[in-house]
Chain A
């Protein structure tokens, strides 16, 4: 069953001087019950804007978004937010900034339960304590404030608050990038466990490809606002069809001293004339200035996503070259 469906969604920001930034450009996808959809791409590719547009934090410029076949309005009212919040929850990159510093952890998670309709204080406290245990926080956390916790623990508080609403969908916007390496793995493992226990579907946004490879069933690769490749995670990572996906995978450092140096030199040579040009909505493929496969036709035509395998799509005119 499809929980969230985005159909040709765009988000354009007006910049100073009458210019425009197409942060999200004609993105379509479906998120099915129980699955994890990864979204990867470099900073500025529009992955966070896409997430915020989905949950109504930005009004979209064009396109349709539906939750379980119910169309979502372009501009959310407070009631729309409250309604969607029962079904779709979000966790953020900076956990501290997304938690009220003057509420105790018990109040923060309790507030979510109150919205859900748990009105009796004792029942609420009992459920908060259950959630603290589920996300691996000590019982004493109940009466402490978010500032007293480490980054990883704060992210656990954010996860407990989101999942206490028992949503169908959890949108995770770079939930681990602000955390230390050993803590990142803890949080990703927690998300994997909670998905197993609750069956919640996730949209998992990250720039760490290894984490996405571990957690996501399917993946969208974004470049300058557009989806350039999508497919099952293992297939996209093992047989990338788009030159940008290939470049992203190649750019990750190789953790083996015997191979790493030669690899670094080889990839750096590929990138020697690399020049990121911001897509101003002009013609052609936005990646062509960086692309080793670029040809004359790439400057004329914006490539559409086309099938290049089972459930596998890429937006490139020269996939098979």
Chain B
């Protein structure tokens, strides 16, 4: 059986703030298989970025990993020192960020920035690395690559800069690419180009991608599997077809019905009333219950377990409990 590239088990991360602790990630488990794209979907503050920043060892000082285990290619990442992480960070696993301009060094030429991981991880000479950097820029669709490699980030448009960052992330042929909202800062026409580039590079190299996004439209075009997060926990986990065609958690269903194009002529957009819970407080019962149209008494008292509907598809919702009568109606679409 194939082993996952990345395996996160029961991860809990909190931030120390003046008023106490913010429980940003509350027990997240997920696997990423070689060559697949796992999308992590949720709104800001749901813990999707914190989860992956923990994996990369990029948490700020005031963060604390309370529990959990992270394995990347069989290595226990959480126990590693920064020096040990630097052996795989930027080479076997790399990351691209939402805002390419702030993720790049404004005082360094684009070509030198792409060449840096090649020199550090592969020991290439400066000339070799710079030549490879030009190839990489060409590969991600930057025209006049030799000329562009000598320019600084401010001479690049947002889309071109995101391409350059992808080139840098892919320089050492990673097994896993973590993409944190890679197109959120880009215009839609540029978004199409960057997403299709990522897909094509994945086909060529066989790397796995973890795609963090709030946009279900992007999930539909990119992901093989989806984890939907809410208030620091995964509420639904399954293949992209399962999650779109048979959403089993009311939050997923609400997100899906809020998708564009379905409400021409309607007097109101479907929306979710209220706001996500305050993660500084202990959450009693299901975190989504106060905003959930299907909430039952049990939901406010006790947090639902993760319930598997099939081998690949699971949901943290009492409606999926075999004994739940309302759940049967929910599944049949009656609710």
Contact = CB atoms under 8 A, between A and B. Distances in A.
Interface in A241-291: 247-248, 251-258, 260-261, 263-265, 267-268, 271, 274-276
Nearest to B241: A257
Interface of A: 42-43, 150, 152, 180-183, 185-186, 188-189, 192, 207-211, 213-214, 234, 247-248, 251-258, 260-261, 263-265, 267-268, 271, 274-276
B196 A189 contact: no
B195 A271 contact: no
A256 B244 contact: yes
Contact of B220 (A210, A211, A247, A254): A254
Contacts of A188: 269
Contact of B192 (A152, A185, A251): A251
B271 interface: yes
What bracket does the count of chain B residues touching chain A fall in?
35 or more
B20 interface: no
Contacts of B188: 42, 207, 248, 251-252
Nearest to B193: A271
15 contacts: A42-B189, A152-B275, A186-B273, A210-B260, A213-B260, A213-B264, A248-B188, A252-B217, A253-B220, A255-B216, A260-B221, A261-B221, A263-B221, A264-B196, A265-B196
Given A267-B192, A268-B192, A214 B215 contact: no
A80 B295 CA distance: 53
Given A181-B255, A185-B258, A264-B192, 17 more contacts: A43-B187, A152-B275, A180-B214, A181-B43, A181-B215, A182-B258, A189-B271, A192-B267, A207-B188, A208-B260, A211-B269, A213-B264, A253-B218, A254-B220, A264-B199, A265-B199, A267-B196
Contacts of B143: 275
Nearest to A42: B187
Contacts of B271: 182-183, 185-186, 189
A278 B158 CA distance: 14
B191 A251 contact: yes
Given A181-B214, A183-B275, A255 B259 contact: yes
B187 A274 contact: no
A186 B273 CA distance: 7
